[in-house]
Structure 1
Amino acid sequence: MSSFLSTPLYGGAVVCDIPEKFADVSKLRQVPDNQEVWIDEDGFTSIIFDVTERVGEPGRGSEIDGRAITTHLQELLGSGIDGVKIWNTAETEFSRLESKYPAYTLIATQTPKSSQSRERSSAPDFTAIIMTLLRLEKYKTDILITINVPHIKGEYNEEDVDLQLGKQGKLIGDAVEYSARIWKSFKIKDWDLFVIDD
């Protein structure tokens, strides 16, 4: 079981629980204003919060929102989208938000092309991606919370991971725990962070 700290994001406009062993990347290098990036001090997992412009047509529903999360995934991965397999998509609830905003989470894996992975011995066998999309239509905003979990040979037990059989292994299991804690603790304290659609 991980230890978490209530952590201010975006200058305190947002607060949520982040694993205690994660470090704020902005203290090491520059991070875009619309992002908060946290990295595991003992591993390779990262958590990225991204406040972006809403994508897709107006309205809500699993079809519209499903297309939006796919668009965000494609934008995130660019040409790497070819090696992606989506394993699961589910509706998600942020329990500390006053209104019920639509939210969805997907679990995917990205496998590098074999020529790429041979060139760099530290390249991951695959990277698990847990992406949550929180849609704030009134504010013309999508919030993406992406947990990237690189699986590097020798750093994980290959026999423990088989998503086809529902075996997530420790690293993905931990990332699912981090996601669930974020959904339970994520609170927007200053809505001026977003633009209101009049």
Structure 2
Amino acid sequence: MGKTEFVSTPLFGSAIITDLPSNFADVSKLRQVPDNQEVYIDKDGFTSIIFEICERVGPSGNTAEIDGGALSTHLEELVGDDVDTVRVWNTTDTVFSELPDGIPAYSLVATQTPRTDPKAAASSAPDFTAIILTLVRLEKESTDFLITINVPHIKGEYDEEDVDMQMGKQGQLIGDAVEYASRIWATLQIKDWNLFKEV
């Protein structure tokens, strides 16, 4: 732990800057990524970090209920039909050190366990995928800014005994992802607010 090297990374044409792990690659160099997304993937593993500019969901204002509802909506959109296979383990208010005061942000840690397909016994589907979802609510910009870290746990690629979410044991892969998220919360800066008008 703590050996991760981070590098300051421009996103969305430098409108946003944040620290990302140095071993993550920009997926848009490999394949098409939608304009409202930036996707980075671990060159040595399976974890991905996705930044996404979305239209704000839910009513105006900021209450725990409104923002909690928005967080749930985004999580459901993320996992689609698999929502019944998702468990949310915790949700917390999140502070972005470099963003203006008063911008509400929230994070959750969830796990999504694929439905087992009896026909696909030798499938390469992960045992489960951990999701660290951070939502930044930019109400003036009518924007929800999402940061999703997906952490697939593939049999043989992680130590199953290290992971027991019920017991609060996250294991190394999730521990690393939490470290990435914390670093993003501490370093993300919005340099050009016009970004949110253009998308």
Flag whether TM exceeds 0.5 (same fold).
yes
Structure 2 Cα separation of the partners of residues 122 and 138 of structure 1: 43
Correspondences of 1:165-180 after superposition (within 5 Å): 165-180=167-182
TM alignment of 1:1-198, pairs within 5 A? 1=2, 2-115=4-117, 118-119=120-121, 121-195=123-197
Q: What is the CA distance between 1:61 and its match in structure 2?
A: 1.5
Residue type at the aligned position of 1:56: G
- AA aligned opposite 2:158: Y
Q: 1:116-173 CA deviation, whole Å, 9 max, x = no partner?
A: 7935521100000000000000000000000000000000000000010000000000
| Runs of at least 4 residues off by over 6 Å | none
Quickly say closer, same or farther: Cα 1:5–1:109, change in 2 above 3 A.
Answer: same
In 1, the alpha carbon distance for the partners of 2:44 and 2:19 equals 18
Over 3 Å counting, the alpha-carbon distance change for 1:116 and 1:5 in structure 2 is farther
Q: How much has 1:66 moved relative to structure 2?
A: 0.2
Distance, in Å, in 1 between the alignment partners of 2:78 and 2:103 is 22
Q: Counterparts of 1:192 and 1:59 in 2: how far apart (Å)?
A: 22
Structure 1 position 82, deviation (Å): 1.3
- Judging by fraction of residues, say which structure has more helix: 1
Do the aligned partners of 1:117 and 1:125 also contact (CA within 8 Å) in 2?
no
TM-score after normalising by structure 2: 0.96
- Alpha-carbon distance between aligned partners in 2 of 1:116 and 1:181, rounded to the nearest angstrom: 40
CA RMSD after TM alignment: 1.3
**Counterparts in 2 of 1:56 and 1:120: CA distance versus 1, 3 Å:** farther
**Is the Cα–Cα contact under 8 Å of residues 35 and 48 in structure 1 kept in the other structure?**
yes
Q: Determine if contact 1:89/1:104 at 8 Å carries over to the other structure.
A: yes
Provide TM-score, normalisation by structure 1: 0.96
1:98 CA displacement: 2.1
Of all paired residues, the percent bearing the same amino acid is 65
In the alignment, structure 2 segments of 5+ residues that lack a partner are none
Contact 1:104-1:134 within 8 A present in 2 as well: yes
Gap runs ≥5 in structure 1: none
